Structure 1
Amino acid sequence: MPARDLVIVESPTKARTIRRFLGDGYTVESSQGHVRDLPEDKLGVEIEKGFKPTYIVIADREPILQRLRKLATEADTILLATDEDREGEAIAWHLAEALKLDQAKTRRIVFHEITRSAIERAIATPRSIDMNLVNAQQARRILDRLVGYKLSPLVWRKVAGAPSAGRVQSVAVRLIVEREREIESFVPTVQYRLRARFRTAAGELVRAELDRRLDDAEATRAVLSNLIGATFTVESLQTKPGKKSPPPPFTTSTLQQEASRRFGMPIRVTMQIAQQLYESGYITYMRTDSVSLSEEALAAASDTIVALFGKRYHTRRQYQTKVANAQEAHEAIRPTDFSRRTLEGESRQMQQLYELIWKRALASQMSDAELERTIATIAPSRTEERFIAEGEVITFDGFLRLYSDQRDEDAENEDASESTLPSLAVGEQLSPEEIWARQTFSRPPARYTEASLVRKLEELGIGRPSTYATIIGRIQERGYVERRSTDGTTREIQVLRLRDGTIVEEKETETVGAERNKLFPTVIGNLVTDFLTEHFPDIVDYQFTATVEEQFDQIARGELYWQTMLESFYKPFEQRLGQVIATAPSVGRRMLGTDPQTGEDVYVGINRYQRFYVQRGDRFANIPSTEQLDELTLERALYYLQ
């Protein structure tokens, strides 16, 4: 039997797809992800030997390695075809090390999409393993192990009920904790918004609003009084053309955000589905911070747009990435075949996400939507006040024919979007149908969703496309953060309305604070954030964390030695650990006093399940969440311990 070339990839699905494109001269096998890692039961890093890692074979990977060793021995050439990012490069290196591959017959091949032409190009242009990328991955893995392994036991000792602590996850939790505190301390400002509905002589509706907000009910009544019996005239008309440009094709984070907004898809689910689409050959690599498209993709998009909509709808665009510390390693996320509009025979979620990616990538190469915006100024008699009516007409739909990018999630009210205006003329009189003022309250900052937290992390330069889903998942799994909904509360608002020449006061109610699928910090999340902020400010500092990410990028570019980077981080971190162990008080548990009957001390605290308890000696009792812990007395604690 003639020897075959061996192609090794990470996933069985990816292996099956590649087999379709390669002939009998190739054997395609999967490593099923990483084959080696640091041990779970010890640090696995020899700090005094230059942070030398001790890797072990992952328990269930040994049979896979045995099979791959046999196939590698029989093969003419071994092609390591793992993903072209730091994690993929590390998997390729670990495979070469664990299998003891002969360098003379081992090649590294990379591709951004799983298509026949991409695979053939990759095989024709092999390279060696990029140790700069491997070292960047090792540096991240070792640093996170050092922080987690050294910091977690300290946090367990000092913060009652705390789970393990991590580097980037602690920064993400801090963002959520600080946002919650902004909301709790927020004091709304009150204004009055005065609006009107007019009719033209032909009976057409014109919606308008006073050109300023009013500060209180007294000022609002004064304005309304001046409008009693007034006539209303169109004072000026301003019409000018406008345009809307399409958004760029998806990056990892913008795909996560849009799938969350449109479909309510959790970040982790989005990445699982995108991985399936990539490994099945439907889309390009899904971990990217680039918004650029290849020349081949630009040409294919052009052909599809012209065929579907005509030449006027096509405008060639090449976008530039503006994200902090973008790596530009890949293209944006796009279909591998623009002529494939839908997927047949795949799951509904795969079809949904694919169609979203297809529309977004294609729309990015379409023409601007052309608009005509009209602003009418309406002057009442007897007062200097002015009303403004705005309208917008789409004169050419452009990319909107395919893709709507409306951001209506946080629209303030039903009038937030502009409407069309009837034909008006300067000097034309309008009849007032309704004039009213409504009390409004400024809104606190919105709690983070999974998607908006990713956007914030990206803005700060924290995390990377390959890590967002892990960060978001981990802070919830470890109990620092909860994803939940709240019904909000109702409040009464004042409405002042002109009716038959008099000002009538009405009361309405509105719901405030109702939110769906938002991230809330838990008690433990608050306690650990406060502890780390006080004792390890660098660990939860946004700029420091972004700087560490930039250092990983420098290692990947060959500009920084990975052991130098770890040394500069670890020395001050180790010194701080010793100081905190010796001096920091414990939090999350406090003594209430002594039981006069038994002489035993009585404590209140929180356990790992985030339940509050009281303790006397060996006896524990849970206490209701309605109790105010800061106000809990010894007498109440003894009552619960009965």
Structure 2
Amino acid sequence: MSKQYLVIVESPAKAKTIGKYLGKEYTVKACMGHLRDLPKSKLGVDPEQDFEPVYQPIKGKEDIIKDLKKSAKAADTVFLATDPDREGEAISWHLKHLLDLPDEKTRRVTFNEITKKVVQESIQSPRAIDQNLVDAQQARRILDRLVGYELSPLLWKKVRRGLSAGRVQSVATRMVDDREREIEAFEPEEYWTLDVNLLGGHKPFAARYHGKDGKKAELKSQAEVDAVVHETENAAFSVKSVKRTDKQRSPSPPFTTSTMQQEASRKLSMTPRRTMAIAQQLYEGVDIAGEGTVGLITYMRTDSLRLSEEALAEAKSFILGRYGDAYAKTNRYKAKANAQDAHEAIRPSNVRWTPEDLKADLTGEQYRLYRLIWSRFVACQMSNAVYDSVSVEIEASRHDFRASSSSLKFAGYTAVYEEGKDEEKEEKESPLPELQEGDALELKDFAPS
């Protein structure tokens, strides 16, 4: 008789996807998240006994626990395949205790991406539960409880009943309060810009005041602005110097959780909560015509910029095929000093599944977020964009004005993706006429602000 295996994941969608990649001897079930936790009605932490937590099964989950216990008893080996983060590690640890699983029968597996290859490889190389990750989650949970249960009653008394306090809200409130005090203490300072509208070769363009006698100067009052206008309004304007350079702009690194949320907010108007919900769907698996249920992106909770060598090679091959040699450039990104680097950056699990290819199988939100993740990943493995930059210095009666413009010379990564900005650039660069050193310019008017 062949051995029977039980695989426990968190969600039914994930169970459905993984079930298709494993053989008939594998049963895949969902635990629907945490099955035991600290009690709701009391603190559940004993500060006198080294902050020992007291866990109990969560109300309403009795049927799930009963079903999993029955399945675990019938299985020869139980694979705990909850999410690959500290929360997932803690859920696996709780399952082991709740289902009375002996060590020799328990295996822990994680999937950075839910594709057939990765799922099958991970099942073949399980590990033990990482107690350090479990303890990290427990410390956060206990701190939540200690801060929340001690502070919340104070809020009810002083502010309003029903408000909650915790390790995050408390610190965030302090930060908001500190910032508010900074704003109240801020002393405004007057600041002026002075633009001059000129004609060069009968073509209009604008230049901004820079300073006097080769030194930069800031205009801090209308009187100072009026003085510059008075000294230059009847003076001869001429081109002092023209500099042409090639400027290169590098692509943004691949997404981490926070940068994905920021960009989805800017470009897709999605809240962080919605972004993570859609990303979870893309990670756990979507039905694709001709492919079945597949996970389209890697795990979406990460602060790492690392990309696997396999992903880098696939991206290079794809870019060479679609855009050509000039566009391909392998970029490796280092993790920030305080990043935990447990997972790769967020990327498509298969770069050859383009957003256009999958559009018919995705919801509108899934398509837009997948396109964002796919484009950012492909762009980060492409060449720099090159701009032809022109900088002109103009003089009039010892005063200097400057104008610049740039035009795209080589698209590079911008052929695929450009990062959004929180605020659109206020000063739009107007194209400059063809100017040479020594050219005389005609003054039209001044535009102080």
> What's the TM-score, normalizing by structure 1?
0.65
- Residue type at the aligned position of 1:426: E
Name the CA distance, whole Å, in 1 between partners of 2:8 and 2:33. Answer: 11
The residue type paired with residue 335 of structure 1 is P
The residue matched to 2:128 in structure 1 has which SS? coil
Instruction: Find out whether 1:105 has 2:108 as its counterpart.
Output: no
8 Å contact 2:263–2:420 — kept in the other structure?
no
For the residue of structure 2 that corresponds to 1:249, the secondary structure is coil
Deviation at residue 406 of structure 1 after TM alignment: 4.6
1:315 equivalent among 309, 314, 329 = 329
Q: Which residue of 1 aligns with 2:276?
A: 271
SS of equivalent to 1:291: coil
Q: CA deviation at 1:4?
A: 2.5
**Following the alignment from structure 1 to structure 2, what is the Cα–Cα distance between the partners of residues 373 and 254?**
29
For residues 134-175 of structure 1, what are the alpha-carbon distances to aligned partners after superposition, in whole Å with 9 as ceiling and x for unaligned? 111111111211121123224434556682321221111222
1:241 aligns with one of 225, 243, 246:
246
| TM alignment of 1:64-143, pairs within 5 A | 64-143=64-143
- Please say if residues 194 and 213 of structure 1, whose CA atoms lie closer than 8 Å, have aligned partners that are also in contact: no
Give 1:337's aligned residue: 350
The Cα shift of 1:407 comes to 2.3
Q: The residue matched to 1:18 in structure 2 has which SS? A: helix
Q: Report the AA paired with residue 164 of structure 1.
A: S
Matched with 1:377 is 393
Mapped pair 1:393 → 2:407 = yes
Equivalent position of 1:363 in the other structure: 379
Q: Structure 1's 162 and 182: CA in aligned 2 closer, same or farther, altered over 3 A?
A: farther
Q: Tell me how far 1:188 sits from its aligned partner.
A: 2.4
Shift in CA distance, 161/188, structure 1 to aligned 2, threshold 3 Å: farther
4+ residue stretches of structure 1 with deviation over 4 A? 158-162
With over 3 angstroms needed to count, the CA separation of the structure-2 counterparts of 1:406 and 1:151, relative to structure 1, is closer
Give, in whole Å, the separation in 2 of the partners of 1:346 and 1:54: 43
Shift of 1:189: 1.6
Aligned match of 1:300 in 309, 314, 333? 314
Higher mean C-alpha displacement, 185-194 vs 241-250: 185-194
Alignment match of 1:432 (pick from 428, 436, 443): 443
- Report the more deviating stretch, 342-351 or 240-249: 342-351
Q: Distance in 2 between matches of 1:125 and 1:268?
A: 33
Unpaired runs of 5+ in structure 2? 211-216, 286-294
Task: Determine the C-alpha separation between the residues in 2 that align with 1:78 and 1:289.
Answer: 30
Quick one: which amino acid aligns to residue 427 of structure 1? Answer: G
Question: Does 2:58 correspond to 1:58?
Answer: yes
| Residue of structure 2 in register with 1:214 after alignment | 219
1:287 aligns with 2:298: no
Aligned-partner residue type, residue 317 of structure 2: D
Residue by residue over 1:408-446, the C-alpha shift from the partner in whole angstroms, topping out at 9 and shown as x without a partner, is 6163x3x2x4343232111111222332212xxxxxxxx
Aligned with 1:421 (options 432, 438, 442): 432
Matches of 2:390 and 2:422 in 1, distance apart? 22
Instruction: Tell me, yes or no, if the aligned pair for 1:392 and 1:419 is still in contact at 8 Å.
Output: no
Secondary structure (helix, strand or coil) at the match of 1:60 reads: coil
Counterpart in 1 of 2:288?
none
Residues 82 and 89 of structure 1 are in contact (CA less than 8 Å); yes or no, is this contact kept in structure 2?
Answer: yes
- Report if aligned partners of 2:205, 2:430 keep a CA contact under 8 Å in 1: no
CA distance in 1: counterparts of 2:282 and 2:329, whole angstroms: 27
Question: Does the CA-based 8 Å contact 2:297-2:348 persist in structure 1?
Answer: yes
> Any conservation in 1 of the 2:197–2:447 contact (CA below 8 Å)?
no
| Worse-superposed segment, 240-249 or 163-172 | 163-172
**Matches of 1:224 and 1:419, distance apart in 2:** 22
1:224 deviates by 1.0
- C-alpha distance in 1 between matches for 2:430 and 2:15: 53
Structure 1 pair 102–244 and aligned structure 2 pair: CA distance change class (3 A) = same
Amino acid aligned to 2:351: F
Query: Alpha carbons of 1:390 and 1:339: their partners in 2 closer, same or farther (altered >3 Å)?
Result: same
**Root-mean-square deviation (CA), in Å?**
1.8
Letter aligned with residue 149 of structure 2: Y
In 1: Cα distance, 2:69 partner to 2:160 partner: 48
- CA shift digits 1:118-139 (9 cap, x unpaired): 1011011111111111111111
- Find the counterpart in structure 2 of residue 190 from structure 1: 190
Looking at structure 1, the residues matched to 70 and 99 of structure 2 have their Cα atoms a distance apart, in angstroms, of: 9
Residues 427-471 of structure 1: CA deviation (Å, up to 9, x unaligned): 111222332212xxxxxxxxxxxxxxxxxxxxxxxxxxxxxxxxx
Instruction: State the aligned residue count.
Output: 431
Equivalent residue, structure 1, for 2:237: 232
TM-score, structure 2 as length reference: 0.92
Q: Shift in Å at residue 181 of structure 1?
A: 3.5
What amino acid is the match of 2:228? V
**1:349 aligns to what?**
365
Counterpart of 1:435, as a letter, is F
Distance apart, 1:3 and its partner CA: 4.6
Identity %: 48
Q: Secondary structure at the match of 2:76?
A: coil
Mapped contact 2:72–2:78 kept (Cα < 8 A) = yes
Structure 2: how far apart are the matches of 1:384 and 1:172? 51
Q: Contact 1:3–1:74 at 8 Å: present in 2 too?
A: no
Cα displacement (A) at 1:101: 1.3
The equivalent residue for 2:19 is 19
Whole-Å Cα distance in 1 between the matches of residues 367 and 177 of structure 2? Answer: 36
Give the Cα separation in 1 of the matches to 2:170 and 2:146: 14
The amino acid that maps onto 1:339 is: R
> What 5-or-longer segments of structure 1 have no aligned partner?
439-642
Distance across 1 between alignment mates of 2:420 and 2:157: 49
